[in-house]
Amino acid sequence: MPTISDVARAAGVSMSTVSYVLSGRRPISAETSARVRAAIAELGYHPHAGARALASSRTSVLALVVPLRADVNVPVIMQFVTAVVTAARRYHHDVLLLTKDEGTAGLERVAGATMVDALIVMDVEGDDVRIPALGRLKQPSVLIGLPDDPAGIACVDLDFAATARECLTHLAGHGHRRVALVGPSPSVYERGTTYAQRFLDGFTDASAELGLETVAHSCEPGADGVRDCLAWIDSEQPGTTALLVHNEDALVPLLDELRARGRSVPGDLSIVAVCPRDVATSLPVKLTSADIPAHDVGTLAVETAMALLEGRKAPGTRLLPPTIIERDSCGPLS
């Protein structure tokens, strides 16, 4: 493997000149630059990442911590991951993948060893034990999610409360007065990832503001969970004309069950789902949905990390506004 000094010799310049050609941190004459670049190409030179990290104390690597739990929607996680990797590459960074089950130790390990410039942490809980640990690191971090006390922390997420409000407003605009929320599985609420609660809060508030009659219920996984949830809604609030579904995994069994019961969508029942675009459009009924902008959130997390690194920005919360996409599952009250 050629080193920077090989390149310098081949180009007839000093090591520092080669370094500056590469970093652009000082002006180099066009001619010299060309000669250096030619030598680099000729020798197939790649700067040694470790040496560079040692000398510059920057690694060009971002840590990304992903959850592995069963009650997360795996394709959505993967959308975040690909968005983060893709965005990181635009900033000439790579991504080191950590799993949440390493906990605080994992963060301290990669940060302590100076393996990364910044950390992006997914699946943040309300009172996440990792948050104090992140505060002690010398690297900045960005949370995807919103803890109970986000003061002084960089957070990025969808505005779930506003999303719930928008969905209800949409349904009310179609004349619906009795709406039920089909929520995530109980384990999601219990675990303390706050998005479920924030959505529920927005739902409750907007329901009062709009003068709607509403109920909300969590929904266990699988066809049985859906049936139980529907039964609960039927008994608790008969005459419900619209469902707001905040549970990707419930959608397929839900549509199945409704079809089995002979209830048409949106004829007999309107549905608004909270889910990524591709799942909304891949179901038998194209669902009117509030988008989960995994790609945007992941990209924004990377941009925030970069801004933090460059001191362009102070930590703070950024919640993305909701987007309702009208499709075929939400009709006027019949």
Partner DNA sequence: TTGAAAGCGTTACCAC
Partner DNA sequence: GTGGTAACGCTTTCAA
Which residues are near DNA by CB under 7 A? 1, 3-5, 12-17, 19-20, 22-23, 25-29, 31-33, 45-48, 51-52, 54-56
Q: Which is nearer to DNA, 44 or 239 (CB)?
A: 44
Residue 112 near its own copies by CB under 8 A: yes
Residue 180 burial (CB count, 10 A): 24
3 binds, among DNA, its own copies, none (CB under 5 to 8 A by kind): DNA
**Residue of 306, 261, 236 whose CA lies nearest to 62:** 306
Candidate residues 26, 48, 263, 312; the one interacting with its own copies per rule CB under 8 A: 48
DSSP string, 130-186: HHHHHHHSSS-EEEES--S--TTSEEEEE-HHHHHHHHHHHHHHTT--EEEEE---H
**Residue 261: how many CB atoms within 10 A of its CB?**
12
By C-beta, is 9 or 286 nearer to DNA?
9
State in angstroms the smallest separation of the CB of 3 from DNA: 3
Shorter beta-carbon distance to DNA: residue 56 or 264: 56
Q: Nearest CA to 247 among 268, 270, 271, 265?
A: 271
Provide, rounded to whole angstroms, the least separation between the CB of residue 102 and DNA. 21
Give the nearer residue to its own copies in terms of CB position, either 36 or 164. 36
Nearest approach in angstroms of CB 6 to its own copies is: 14
Q: CB count, 10 Å around CB of 111?
A: 21
Q: Could you say which of its own copies, DNA, none residue 328 binds, taking C-beta under 5 to 8 angstroms by partner kind? A: none
Give residues 267-306 in contact with its own copies (rule: CB under 8 A): 282, 284
What is the smallest separation between the CB atom of 88 and DNA, expressed in angstroms?
18
**Residues 209-248 as x/- pattern, contact with its own copies by CB under 8 A:** -------------xx-------------------------
Binding status of residue 113 toward its own copies by CB under 8 A: yes
Binding of residue 262 to its own copies (CB under 8 A): no
Three-state secondary structure call for residue 317 = strand
Q: Is 53 in the site for its own copies (CB under 8 A)?
A: yes
Instruction: List all residues 6 or more positions away from 143 whose beta carbon is below 8 Å from its beta carbon.
Output: 120, 121, 124, 131, 150, 153, 154, 155, 156
Asked if residue 309 binds its own copies (CB under 8 A), the reply is: no
> Minimum distance between the CB of residue 116 and its own copies, rounded to whole angstroms?
9
Cis peptide before 293 (omega within 30 of 0): no
Q: How far is the CB of 49 from its own copies (least distance, A)?
A: 4
Q: Which does 17 bind (CB under 5 to 8 A by kind): its own copies, DNA, none?
A: DNA
Residues sharing a CB contact under 8 Å with residue 298, sequence separation 6 or more, in sequence order: 79, 80, 81, 82, 83, 84, 87, 144
User: Which pairing describes strands 213-217 and 242-245: parallel, antiparallel, or unpaired?
Assistant: unpaired
Binding flag, residue 173, its own copies (CB under 8 A):
no
Q: Least distance (Å) from its own copies to the CB of residue 332?
A: 27
Residue at token pair 């080669």: 18
| Contacts with 221 (C-beta within 8 Å, 6 or more apart), sequence order | 71, 185, 249, 250
Hey, which residues between 56 and 95 contact its own copies (CB under 8 A)?
59, 61, 64, 68, 74-75, 77-78, 81-82, 85-86, 89, 94-95
Rounded CA-CA distance 321/22 in Å is 40
Minimum Å gap between C-beta 141 and DNA is 21
